Structures are given as C-alpha cells and as structure tokens.
A and B are shown apart, each in its own frame.
Chain A
Amino acid sequence: MNETYEDIQRELHKLEDQQDDLERFVRKVEQKEEELIFQEQRFLSENERRIQDWRHDNNAQKLLLEQQEIVQKLFYNRLDFMNGDLKEIKKAKEKISRQEDECYRRMQNLDLEGEETENGKNY
C-alpha cells in the first residue's frame, strides 16, 4: 500500500509528541537530579560533622559511616547516570529529529510526485 500524506503526518505528530515527552522528561530529570545532588552534597557534609560529633560512640559512628557510604553510592550512581544514560536519552532526541527530517523529506517527495485532486494531491 502506498504511503499517504496523512500517514506521514501522523508519524510526524507521533514523533513530535515523543520529542516533547522526551524534552519534558529530560528537563524534569535534570532538574530533579540536580536538586538531589545538592541534597546529597549537603547530607554528606553534615554527616562529616555528625561522624566527628559521635566519634566517642563506636556504634553510632559505625552507622553514620555506613550512611555516608550509602549516600556516596547514591551520589556517584546519579553522576554516572547523568553523564551516561541521560546523555544517551538526550541523543535519542537527535534520532527523533532525524526521523522527523526524514518525514519532511518524504512529504516533500510526495509533493513532487502527487496529482492534484479536489481535496489536494494524491500520492
């Protein structure tokens, strides 16, 4: 079956929606992750103080050191994500852009090959 102008337009809309979703997602994630990074940096710095405050209590200090370790893992995991997978997700936007370009190109081709009808061109 031949591809119609409407088919391409639907695909284009879908891609635009995806593009929007992706943009929203990345914006939201970046905002949230940056907020969490700030939160974790503050926790790590305050926890350093707590570790000093409770150095006379082995049990409390052990728990605080464990907390420090967990939050550091959270923090580095977040940085890894933002420098890795999130960048990949951002790259997906470019792929979608390319797909959109492809759609426009195909639409252009139809413009050139199609016949005039009452309702427009038939492709």
Chain B
Amino acid sequence: MGRIIKPDEVCTQANETISALQSHNEALHKVLPNITLFMNNEVLAGNAWNSVKNQMSNHELVVQGLICANDQAVMDNETLMSQAGDEELIEDDIEQAIAESENSISQCQNNIAYYQQQCVNLGSLDLLIFAPYIEYAKLQINYNELLINNLEKFIQAMKDKIAKIDSIEAATNDLFLSAKGLYSDIDTGMSVIQGAWNGSGFTISENTSWKSSLRNAWDAREVRLRNKVFNSDGTLKEAFVQEISNKSMVDMTPEELEMFNLMIERILSEEVTVKELTMVIDCYYTPEFEGQRRRKDTAVEFGCYIDSYVEIRALCGDATRGEMQRAMLFNAVFSHDSFGKLGEVNYDSTNNVYTFRYSNPDNMAPGGTITSYKWSNISVGLVGYQDQGTDIADQNGDYLLSGLLGFDISESIRSTIVLKATSKCIQNAAKSSINQPILSKILPELVPSGIGAVISYAEGIGIAGQGKKIAEIDDCGLALSNLDLFYSSAFDGNVYSYKSQIYPSQNTMNLINGFNEYLDNDNKISYSELRTDPNGVAEKLKSLEILSVYKDKIIKKLGSEYLSAEEVIGIDNE
C-alpha cells in the first residue's frame, strides 16, 4: 500500500548515482596498474617484500571488489530505470480511482433497478399516459448499462497499473543485494588490511572468505565483459564492434573502455583473422548511401588510439612487427574519409604486407553510366627497414629502454608518457582532427598515472643519436634525442613514412638521464656500441658492481614515485 513510482525522479537519481559510480570506477582503474607493477616486480624478493606484496594483493582485491560492486550497482540502477517505465504510478491515487468507480457502478446498478421497478409498476397501471416515461426509463437503463461497462474497463485499466507496480516491485526486490554483499566483503577486507600491521610487518589474516568472494566477482566480471566482446571461438563479436564503433571514447563508460581495450588487444594479437580485420573496418564506415561509405568520426580516434597504444609498446620494446603492421593498417584505411565500396583485408606473406581493397566513390555514383567499379589497394607493411618492430630490433640486438635499465619498464613508461595533440595517425588524414575532449579521454587511458612534462621525442633513420645519450632533456625540459622507431606504409604504390611523436615525462627522462650520467662517469656505453655489440654492452653492465646498488635503489622507489635527477645523482654519490 502507498507505493509510489515516479520514473522521472528514479531516472534522475539513478543517472546521478551511475555517473558517480562510473567516475569512482574510472579512478579505481587507474590505481590497479601501479599495484600490479609493484606486485609483478620480481626483483623485490625476500620475506619482507613478500609480506608487503601480500598486503598489496589485499589492496588489489579490495580495489577490484569495489570496481565489481560499483559495476553491479550501475547495472542495478540501469535495471531500475528500465523497470520503472515511463509512467508515474501512485498506488493511493489508483486505489481511490478504483473505489470511486466501484461506487459509481453501484449507483448505476441502483438506478437501473429503480427504473426497472418503475416500469413494472407503471406497466400494471396500464395507462397510456405513462408510456413516454417508460420509454425514458428504458433509455436511462441503457445509458446506465453503458456507463457500467465503461467504468468496468476503467477499473481494469487501474488494476493493470496495480499489477504493473507489483511486477516492478517483484523485479526490483532483489536489486542491490549482490552489490550490498560485495560492499560488505569489501568492508571486511578493509578491516583486515587496517589490522594487518603488527609493528614490524604485515600479518596474514586467516579470514579469507571475503577474498574468495571478491576474487569470484572479479573473475565473473571478466567473463561477463569477454562474453560481450568475443564469440565462443574467441573472435570479435560484430554486434559489439558495431555498437562501440558509434561511441566516442569521450562517452565510453570505464567498462566500455575496458571492452574497447579487449577489442584492441584482439586486433593486435597474432590470432586475429583477416576476416575480423575486414569486419572492424566495415563497422567504422557508415552503410553505403548514394554510392559512398563515409568514415565515422570515431574511426579517427580509433586510429590515433591503436597507433599510440602500439607506439608505447614499441618504445618499451615489447611491440611485435605484426602488431605495428596492424596498427598501421587501421591508420592507413582510416585516413580515407570515404570509399565507394569496401573490400577485404588480405595478408601477403611473401612481402609481409597487409592489403586492403577499396573502390573510389567516383566509380560508385548512382544513376551514372559506370556500372562496374574498379578496385584499388592499400598496402601496409614495415618495408625497407630492418629494425622495425621491436621483435626485429631484438633480433638485431638493439637495446631499447628496457634493455638499458635491465628490467621491464613498460608499465612505468606507459604511466609517464604523454602524447602530442597532433598524433601521427592523422598526418595522412587531412580532413580529420582530434579535438581536445577526445584527446583528453585518450591520454588518461594511455597514461593512467597522469601527465608528465612534455618533451620532444623525434625519430629518424640515419640521424639517430649515435654516440649521444639515448635521451636527454634541455633546460626547458625538452628532449634532444631519440630512439630508432620508424614506420612506413604504402598507399597505391607510394611509400609514406610516419614520424614518431612520443613524449616521455620529465620523470622518465630523469630515470634515463640518471642512468646515462652514471655511465658517463664510469664506463659510458655509446649508442653505436649498443647497436653493434649488445652482448659486450651487457657484459659491461654486468661487470659494474655499483649498477646493482643503483638499480635496486631505483626499483625500490618505483611503485611510489620516480626519482628526480637530483635524487638519482644523490644515490649515485652514496
């Protein structure tokens, strides 16, 4: 009794809650990589470190649990909105309408009975004078019957509303129970974390039920997201790609961004099929209209994002040639703002290039005399250079940043790099541009820990800083040097080169410069030496006893913050 459903108010409140939860999740997602970085650091070994790592794993679980609970609450709020429908339902008003209608029916029935009795009474009098009244009474009976019929329909309509309230109540009764359970487990986890410090280390709690609950929730969440993105055979779901292709990264929820990243990972992976690549391209162009298929606005950000995604990997030394080629394929295809017909993607294993067939819009104009269309090809590959693809670079013995520092810094790099607004992917797409809101969405996705100082980081073949430091910054915080990262592609027979525009933050540069400072002081290793005699360099590095001290100190600082140049020098002088 007294139930009230006001969809406008429900939706306003639910939307505000969803927005707050999503913003909360966005922040939580940024925390996870740093914890993972710390926990995966194999150099930090021993009982004390393991105790800290165990404690950090609890933190990780709590963060994951919070993400799951917030996700669940978001879904529940969405269910609530969809169930609430679009009609305001106030049970008391409906009940009152039913009671009033029932009362009216009762009056109508009394009136009918009265007129019927009157007809019987007057009929017995057998007076012609009452004939008009009998006619009138019959008409009144008819009208009253009509009114009863209508009132019954109205009562039924009102009862349907009560049934709707019942069904909404039944459908929403269990909402938020699951999220509530997770929040409760999170509370338990928080208590465990807070009580873990025993004065000299972290004790391992025996209370683990909250852990398995949150772990299961996280696993279930991953399965749920993967099921949305992938078919059972692991290929991309066209429906998902089609849906996400209509959304700018600016408008994506954290969950959608995660699924978007799963899609990007699949596209870059060696397992991806040319059929999937064709399908993704197809989704990022509009359906054919008057002989033209136009690039969706989201295609430009997609190209920018996948390109930056791979560039960061390349810089860190873990991008394969195939990944770089596939990122370039999308850049090349999405640099065209329109096609007539889209063909399919093929891989030419002889020349190690991807090709993509298309037809110009001019050949497709409707009503024209041209009835057949001419196919053209875009071919994309890492042609002409030996050291493209860091897997190839590794084969050549080139040391990239990870090689120099002796451990995997991909997460560190990823967390400190910023990209210039004019990312290279739009160089060949003159009509497209990345606007500031989109860029501001892309950057945090690529640099979850924030934005560092922007410094120039150009590349070039033949002018790479041989004999120079690998990278350095000037007084203004601008970098002076570069690494050999070079892309090229071919459009209709023309080869285009891309310039890398990656900008490590000041902290990253400090790390590198600090190391080079150290090398300068002791046993400097030149860049050419790195390229020509990597094994010799490795031996040199190993032979430097102080290196391990220096490295340990840097590593110990990782997970919290990077060293400033002064700190690096300070450590060096210790």
Contact = CB atoms under 8 A, between A and B. Distances in A.
Contacts of B127: 18
Interface residues of A, number: 34
Interface stretch (B20-28, B139-147, B357-365, B450-458): B139-147
B133 A85 contact: yes
Interface stretch (A5-13, A58-66, A101-109): A58-66
B376 to A, nearest CB: 56
Interface stretch (B151-159, B319-327, B422-430): B151-159
B187 interface: no
Interface string B85-103: 0011000010001001000
A92 B100 contact: no
Interface string A35-46: 010010001001
Which of B88, B104, B111, B129 has its CB near the most chain A CB atoms (within 10 A)? B129
B147 A60 contact: no
A92 B114 contact: no
Contacts of B88: 56
Interface in A25-71: 25, 29, 32, 36, 39, 43, 46, 50, 53-54, 56-57, 59-60, 63-64, 66-67, 70-71
A98 interface: no
Contacts of B136: 77, 81, 85
Interface in B360-416: none
B147 A70 contact: yes
A18 B314 CA distance: 115
A70 B146 contact: yes
A24 to B, nearest CB: 11
Contacts, number: 64
A54 B154 CA distance: 11
B130 interface: yes
Interface residues of B, number: 29
B130 A89 contact: yes
Given A67-B147, A70-B150, A77-B140, A59 B157 contact: yes
Interface on chain B toward A: helix, strand, loop, or mixed SS? helix
Nearest to B147: A70
B97 A50 contact: yes
Interface string B112-144: 001000000010010101101100100110011
Contacts of B109: none
A63 B148 CA distance: 12
Nearest to B104: A43
Interface in B493-522: none
Nearest to A77: B139
A89 B133 contact: yes
Nearest to B152: A63
A32 B154 contact: no
A115 interface: no
A42 to B, nearest CB: 10
Nearest to B144: A74
B170 to A, nearest CB: 22
A12 to B, nearest CB: 17
A26 to B, nearest CB: 10
A19 to B, nearest CB: 12
A56 B146 CA distance: 25
A89 B118 CA distance: 15
A73 interface: yes
A101 to B, nearest CB: 18
B140 A74 contact: yes
B523 interface: no
A2 B501 CA distance: 136
A67 B93 contact: no
A1 to B, nearest CB: 26
B107 interface: yes
A64 B101 CA distance: 10
B10 to A, nearest CB: 16
Given A73-B143, A74-B143, A92-B129, A63 B150 contact: yes
Contacts of A73: 143
B147 A74 contact: yes
B157 A36 contact: no
A21 interface: yes
Nearest to B93: A53
Contacts of A63: 150, 153-154, 157
A92 B131 CA distance: 13
Which of B87, B140, B150, B157 has its CB near the most chain A CB atoms (within 10 A)? B150
A103 B133 CA distance: 28
A23 B153 CA distance: 41
A67 B151 contact: yes
Contacts of B132: 81, 84-85, 88-89
A77 B140 CA distance: 8
Contacts of A36: 111
A66 to B, nearest CB: 5
Contacts of B100: 46, 50
Contacts of A39: 107
A59 B153 CA distance: 10
A29 B154 CA distance: 31
Interface of B: 87-88, 93, 97, 100, 104, 107, 111, 114, 122, 125, 127, 129-130, 132-133, 136, 139-140, 143-144, 146-147, 150-151, 153-154, 157-158
Given A70-B146, A70-B150, A71-B147, 11 more contacts: A50-B97, A57-B87, A60-B154, A63-B157, A67-B154, A70-B147, A74-B144, A77-B140, A85-B133, A85-B136, A92-B129
24 contacts: A25-B122, A32-B114, A39-B107, A46-B100, A56-B88, A57-B87, A57-B157, A60-B158, A63-B150, A63-B153, A63-B154, A64-B154, A66-B150, A67-B151, A70-B150, A74-B140, A77-B143, A84-B132, A85-B132, A85-B133, A85-B136, A86-B133, A89-B130, A89-B133
The 5 A-B residue pairs with the shortest CB-CB distance in the complex, in nearest-first order: A85-B132, A63-B154, A81-B136, A92-B129, A74-B143
